[in-house]
């Protein structure tokens, strides 16, 4: 092995230019996790594909989650820049084709292609920063990535609502611009990374664990199909749910067995011997579940219970974004200044747990200022935790394992997001059915004339089409909204102990001194396993 170029420490200005390209790529991937939800109504009406609408979201999540660890390993072997740019191009092609889709099947397929690119954007952003900035200085830069997640949590639903509310823009259906808007930003990210992302390269012999990759992707996809699609839609005892879950677990077990024997494993099992890697992987999954539990449920609460439009609901998520952005940047700067990081995920998971517990108080008449306080708390907890665990992880692994370790952490966070969304969605659906039945039965017993004049099918459809609520008599409307409120409360009271587990996990983190520029330069020089390009 020989080094083509000596390691060179980048200036703050050079890092900020690279950061601009990376943040643009990450924003694309993060936005497309949320922007589609508010535009789905317009898309479904155009394509008359209500029965397949969940696949528009699920296809993206499946491919982005399953591909994340592959990007880390491949970039370790072939270089960061070329693989990152491949992810951008894949994402752009998927966006262009999704915007031009003529039916639901085409849209679902192109969303899957988008997700394939997004998996690389989410994973490699943190890997590349890990390459160019020593851990002691990394906090001041990674705080900006927390700001990107915060921005996307608000801008996604807001932009989705804005575009879908317009019939046409420049001759194209309004909703198609949720995909076309990606094109200029993606091109900008390509230009920036081509111009400035020239880093040292280390040559090495390499091989790809193709069987491991196939087992990982098919195993994870099968499990995700079971928990995020067939379970919530068809029931947890449905034969397809059980079948996909069983196949997924078997393939995952085979993947673990094969990885223990592979020469170049996709996820080296030896990483789990690293105390910090194991704990930050668990923390990442828990934080991912909590983050999406809040981001998915809060807009739904505001639109259904409070009656806000999709655009207004996006705007009213700004307190959540402010909490994430403020604490991400603040904690990053404090980590760089003092070198201590353990306290932040401990504080973050505690604050987030308390915020979710307070959300149990949300009702029909809860004023917006109270909701804002609770949202700020959840956001602040996310901002204190999300980027900090990446710094702790990258500080604890060898330089040659930087790519695979960081992308694996992103993978577990994505898994947590999907499982969390499926879990909380299933709880909401289950409890909503229960409370609707109970509340309507109570009205039927006390005032049967109010209910007898309503089409029974309309009462049954209210769970899947909330616009029906406005057509119901006032007394029935009140009963339906009460059912929704109680269901949301159950979701939040369930999410709180899940995040609380993260608090206890964070207590066991080991705080090791963050490597300085000199330490990091030495580690980079000694590394024989990283191929950066």
pLDDT at 426: 78
pLDDT (average), residues 230-240:
78
pLDDT (average), residues 454-468:
71
Closest Cα partner for 132 from 522, 520, 528?
520
The residue with tokens 């072939």 is: 78
The residue with tokens 């098919």 is: 218
What average pLDDT is seen over the chain? 80
pLDDT (average), residues 263-281:
85
Closest Cα partner for 225 from 21, 62, 6?
62
Distances in Å between the Cα of 361 and the Cα atoms of 73, 355, 366, 367 are 45, 10, 8, 11
Q: Summarize pLDDT for 36-80 with one digit per residue, the tens.
A: 766 766 676 676 655 555 677 777 877 887 788 888 778 877 778
Q: Summarize pLDDT for 434-446 with one digit per residue, the tens.
A: 888 888 888 887 8
CA atoms of 328 and 443, how far apart (whole Å): 49
- Buried b / exposed e over 362-388, threshold 16 CB at 10 Å, is beeebeeeebbebbbbbbbbbbbbbbb
Please provide residue 362's backbone torsions phi and psi, each rounded to the nearest 5 degrees.
-60, 130
DSSP string, 285-311: HHHHHHHHHHHHHHHHHHHHTS---HH
Q: Helix, strand, or coil here: 172?
A: strand
The residue with tokens 């009205």 is: 443
- Contact status, residue 283 vs residue 301, Cβ threshold 8 Å: no
pLDDT higher at 61 or 190: 190
Tokens of 527: 């590394």
Closest Cα partner for 357 from 347, 369, 367, 349?
349
Residue 237 has pLDDT above 60, yes or no: yes
Q: Quick one: the chain helix, strand, coil %, rounded to 5?
A: 80, 0, 20
CA atoms of 518 and 356, how far apart (whole Å): 42
Angle CA(194)–CA(61)–CA(431) in degrees, nearest 5? 150
Helix axes 12-34, 135-164, angle to 10 degrees: 40
CA atoms of 319 and 59, how far apart (whole Å): 30
- Contact status, residue 38 vs residue 160, Cβ threshold 8 Å: yes
Q: Summarize pLDDT for 288-320 with one digit per residue, the tens.
A: 887 766 667 787 788 788 888 767 777 787 888
Q: Which residues lie closer than 8 Å to 237 by C-beta, 6 or more apart?
A: none
DSSP string, 421-464: HHHHHHHHHHHHHHHHHHHHHHHHHH-HHHHHTS-HHHHHHTTT
Strand partners, 3: 202
Tokens of 295: 């981001």
Please provide residue 169's backbone torsions phi and psi, each rounded to the nearest 5 degrees.
-135, 120
pLDDT (average), residues 248-268:
86
How many residues comprise the chain? Answer: 533
Select, from the ranges 111-120, 144-153, 392-401, the one with the highest average predicted confidence (pLDDT). Answer: 111-120
What is the 8-class DSSP label of residue 50? G
pLDDT at 206: 58
DSSP string, 200-212: --B-------HHH
Tokens of 443: 């009205």
């Amino acid at each position: 092995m020989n080094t083509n170029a000596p390691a060179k420490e980048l200036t703050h200005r050079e890092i900020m230019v690279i950061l601009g390209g990376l943040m643009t790529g990450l924003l694309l991937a993060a936005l497309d996790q949320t922007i589609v939800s508010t535009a789905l109504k317009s898309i479904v009406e155009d394509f008359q594909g209500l029965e397949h609408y969940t696949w528009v979201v699920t296809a993206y999540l499946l491919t982005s989650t399953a591909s994340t660890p592959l990007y880390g390993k491949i970039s370790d072997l072939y270089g960061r820049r070329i693989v990152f740019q491949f992810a951008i191009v894949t994402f752009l092609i998927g966006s262009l084709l999704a915007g031009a889709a003529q039916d639901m099947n085409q849209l679902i397929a192109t969303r899957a292609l988008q997700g394939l690119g997004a998996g690389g954007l989410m994973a490699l952003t943190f890997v590349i920063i890990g390459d160019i900035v020593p851990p002691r200085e990394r906090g001041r830069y990674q705080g900006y990535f927390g700001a990107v997640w915060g921005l996307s949590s608000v801008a996604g639903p807001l932009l989705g609502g804005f575009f879908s509310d317009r019939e046409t823009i420049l001759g194209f259906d309004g909703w198609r611009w949720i995909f076309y808007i990606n094109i200029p930003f993606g091109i900008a990210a390509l230009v920036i990374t081509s111009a400035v992302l020239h880093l040292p390269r280390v040559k090495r012999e390499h091989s790809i664990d193709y069987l491991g990759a196939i087992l990982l992707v098919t195993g994870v996809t099968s499990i995700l199909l079971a928990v995020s699609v067939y379970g919530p839609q068809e029931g947890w005892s449905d034969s397809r749910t059980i079948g996909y879950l069983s196949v997924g677990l078997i393939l995952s077990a085979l993947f673990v067995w094969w990885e223990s024997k592979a020469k170049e494993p996709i996820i080296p099992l030896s990483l789990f011997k690293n105390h910090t890697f194991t704990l930050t992987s668990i923390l990442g999954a828990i934080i991912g579940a909590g983050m999406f539990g809040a981001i998915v449920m809060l807009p739904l609460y505001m639109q259904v219970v409070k009656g806000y439009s999709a655009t207004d609901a996006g705007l009213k998520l700004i307190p959540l974004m402010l909490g994430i952005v403020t604490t991400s940047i603040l904690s990053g700067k404090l980590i760089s200044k003092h070198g201590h990081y353990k306290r932040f995920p401990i504080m973050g998971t505690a604050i987030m747990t308390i915020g979710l517990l307070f959300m149990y108080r949300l009702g029909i008449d809860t004023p917006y200022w109270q909701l804002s306080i609770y949202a700020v708390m959840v956001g602040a907890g996310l901002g204190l935790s999300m980027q900090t665990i990446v710094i702790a992880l990258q500080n604890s692994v060898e330089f040659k394992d930087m790519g695979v370790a960081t992308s694996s952490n992103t993978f577990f966070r994505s898994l947590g997001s999907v499982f969390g969304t499926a879990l909380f969605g299933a709880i909401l659906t289950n409890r909503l059915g229960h409370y609707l039945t109970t509340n309507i039965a109570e009205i039927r017993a006390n005032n049967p004339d109010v209910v007898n004049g309503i089409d029974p099918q309309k009462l049954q459809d209210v769970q899947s089409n909330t616009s029906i609520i406005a057509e119901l008599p006032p007394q029935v409307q009140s009963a339906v909204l009460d059912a929704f409120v109680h269901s949301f409360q159950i979701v939040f009271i369930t999410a709180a102990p899940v995040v609380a587990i993260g608090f206890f996990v964070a207590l066991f983190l080991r705080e090791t001194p963050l490597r300085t520029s000199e330490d990091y330069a030495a580690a980079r020089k000694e590394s024989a396993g990283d191929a950066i390009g």
